[in-house]
Amino acid sequence: MSKLDNAQKELLMTNLDEDGKLSCLKAFKVARLIGKNPKEMASITSDLGIKITNCELGVFGKLKFKDPNEKVYNRLQENYMGHKKLDCKVLWDEAQKSTLRIVGSTVKNSDIEVTHCQLGVFRNKKDIHGC
């Protein structure tokens, strides 16, 4: 794991939620603020006993999602030749065409599995680490 200095730890700690967890969105922000690669965040938070929560794609956490968006689902199926496992980055890129919440709702309520978390939290939906 990459050691954090006191200033880096302070930046991380000030971004925790009321339950002492770090949301996925804030984990990306903290990585940028402390000069770390987002992929290192799962290891960093795990070593500090902090859990990452509220995946915007619905893999873990307590975020509420709406019904799936048929247009987004169909576009994903067409663009990725019907693959049921898609990398997190692919889905974040898809969110540029709508919103992360719409893509998350579609994934959460469909047969699509999210793989290769950009924060290093899980390898696929059935193998969640650190959540």
Per-residue pLDDT of the chain (131 residues; tens, 9 = 90+): 468 999 999 999 999 999 999 999 999 999 999 999 999 999 999 999 999 999 999 999 999 999 999 999 999 999 999 899 999 999 999 999 999 999 999 999 999 999 999 999 985 554 444 44
Same structural domain, 65 and 41: no
Same structural domain, 36 and 72: no
CB 92 within 8 A of CB 51: no
Same structural domain, 13 and 34: yes
pTM: 0.84
Domain count of the fold of the chain: 2
- Say which amino acid occupies 106: T
Residue 79 lies inside a defined structural domain of this protein: yes
CB 31 within 8 A of CB 37: yes
Residue 131 lies inside a defined structural domain of this protein: no
Residue 104 lies inside a defined structural domain of this protein: yes
Residue 75 lies inside a defined structural domain of this protein: yes
Q: What pLDDT is attached to residue 57?
A: 93
**Structural domain boundaries enclosing 98:** 61-126
Greatest Cα pair distance, the chain, in angstroms, is 47
Same structural domain, 68 and 122: yes
Residue 73 lies inside a defined structural domain of this protein: yes
